[in-house]
Amino acid sequence: MTWISCSRLPRLMREYADTYSRLPPHLQTMLDALFPEPADFLPEDGSVIIAAVPQRIVKVRFFYRGQKIDAVVPPTYDRRIDEQVISHIAPILEGAGYGIVPIELPKKYLAARAGLGKYGRNNILYLAGLGSFARLVSFHTDLPSTIRPLYAPRLHSSCELCERCVEACPSGALRDGDIMDAYRCITFHNESTDPFPSWLDPSWMTCVVGCMRCQEVCPLNRTYLGHIRRMSFSEDETSIILGGDKNEATPLLEEKLRDIGLFSEFFLLSRNLSFLIANRTGQNPYGKFFIARQSRMER
């Protein structure tokens, strides 16, 4: 966990914007769509707290027409932890007379500047004792904090003589060396409801959402790769997921998907699982809904 005094935020956000302005225009457009303008809601007093919470890889198994379809949900998708962190900390702060509210800020950048972690060559934040398998949660409190040192965003020292992630990335998103091309990153596309670009080869996808390839090969994650959960989905549950309508989910299916952070991503899960199945079995599991989408994607 790290604290940043709100008096530091204007400077940090200016520096963030400066870094951002040096990105190629297509990446700026992408980020504009993903993040609101932070300057609109920067609190002036108190502190921003960023907590890093360990999360595990989830190995999921779907049953489709008698075949097992194995895939992965990367760590960090379980958003329920955000509320849990706040519900743990709120009574402590409120007991001392301070409030606490969630706040959306560029958490990874701020965590790096506050010294909570260092960047890998794959643009993912690595934290001591957690590797990259952690979800960042940020919130604001009116409890003031002391001015603590800030650090320049740093590349992890282990990256200096290593390029494993660059070699493992199937889509060439890390080819540039200095800057990750987020447009080439599988995660960007399988988290988006837009059609997949024609260059994206479905065989690259091993996750039902996101991508783990550059994290799986990273020596900084070696200790944490064994921290996994497993969950399987019956033929009936898989069929409901492929149908694409979350209202069709049984209470048990809903609970299972909520448990791994994917109920709110039902549409993406359905679309991406369809691609995985089509690629691995040669069978087309698309329902009517997906036939329309597929034809758009193939145009």
Q: Which residues bind ligand SF4 (CB under 6 A)?
A: 120-122, 156, 158-159, 162-165, 168-169, 171, 173-174, 185-187, 211, 213-214, 217-220
Number of residue whose CB is nearest ligand SF4: 120
- Rounded-to-integer distance, Cα 64 and Cα 281, Å: 9
Closest CB to ligand SF4 among 99 and 219?
A: 219
Closest CB to ligand SF4 among 156 and 229?
A: 156
- Beta carbon of residue 289, minimum distance to ligand SF4 (angstroms, whole number): 27
Closest CB to ligand SF4 among 121 and 256?
A: 121
Pseudo-torsion of CA 183, 189, 194, 195, nearest 10°? Answer: 100
Closest CA to 277 of 65, 20, 104: 65
- Beta carbon of residue 158, minimum distance to ligand SF4 (angstroms, whole number): 4
Closest CB to ligand SF4 among 83 and 163?
A: 163
Closest CB to ligand SF4 among 92 and 179?
A: 179
- Beta carbon of residue 206, minimum distance to ligand SF4 (angstroms, whole number): 9
- Beta carbon of residue 161, minimum distance to ligand SF4 (angstroms, whole number): 8
Buried b or exposed e, range 154-190, using 16+ CB within 10 angstroms: eebeebeebebbbebbbbebbeeeeebbbebbbbbbb
Instruction: Give the Å distances, CA to CA, from 252 to 83, 244, 249, 289.
Output: 22, 17, 8, 24
- Beta carbon of residue 291, minimum distance to ligand SF4 (angstroms, whole number): 27
Closest CB to ligand SF4 among 160 and 298?
A: 160
Instruction: Give the Å distances, CA to CA, from 186 to 29, 172, 174, 239.
Output: 17, 10, 12, 25
- Beta carbon of residue 112, minimum distance to ligand SF4 (angstroms, whole number): 14
- Beta carbon of residue 133, minimum distance to ligand SF4 (angstroms, whole number): 13
Closest CA to 213 of 94, 132, 299: 132
Closest CB to ligand SF4 among 80 and 154?
A: 154
- Rounded-to-integer distance, Cα 198 and Cα 49, Å: 41
Helix (H) or strand (E) holding 92: helix 80-95
CA 35, 77, 175 angle in degrees (round to 5)? Answer: 65
Which residues, at least 6 apart from 92, have a Cβ–Cβ distance to it below 8 Å?
none
Give the position of tokens 């080439």. Answer: 184
Which residues, at least 6 apart from 14, have a Cβ–Cβ distance to it below 8 Å?
none
- Beta carbon of residue 216, minimum distance to ligand SF4 (angstroms, whole number): 9
Closest CB to ligand SF4 among 183 and 289?
A: 183
